[in-house]
Structure 1
Amino acid sequence: MLSWSTVAYGAALSAVLAAVPVALLVPRRRIGVILIAGLAAGLGPAAWNAILNTVHAPGFFTDAPIAVFPVSWQDTGSGVFAVATAALLLGLGP
């Protein structure tokens, strides 16, 4: 299971790593879209990992047996929550 500090660090790092490319690719540098991209990339995985930590679900942290890309169910859930958060926030309007 991940510690809360690891969850916070991962959320912050995800937010930055999402906001920077969006800032470089958005044509008119719309600050709302950039902020929402970073917020969704941070809040989605943080929420998913908080759920996993709260319900004590260690089975989700088992990596797939693929040497070049050992993704786990926890990683997949983080991605799903990030996309869902982005869709929700962007749907409400930046």
Structure 2
Amino acid sequence: MISKAFYIDKAFWLILIIPILMGVTYIFIEFLLWAVCRLAAYLSYHILKYFFVKSQKLNPEKPLKPLLLIIQTISLIIPPIIVFIKELLA
């Protein structure tokens, strides 16, 4: 016959483990959100870079390096802002 202490012990471990699993799941979801934001920024930077380089070949008098640096800076700034807004709304 299983004693009452066995059930108390199992309940204690469940009470201990469930918040840990919830925290791990939350961290994983935050990581996925961050990864999606970074991927979107990376892809948008390279797509814009492709079109700007293509337009540079058509019109070589206009310098594009400062514009590409601005786009890269914006692509690095936007994902943390998205995550911050999400945290404020949660």
TM-score interval, normalised by the smaller of the two chains: 0.3 to 0.5
TM-score (norm 1): 0.43
More helix by share: 2
Question: Larger Rg: 1 or 2?
Answer: 2
TM-score (norm 2): 0.45
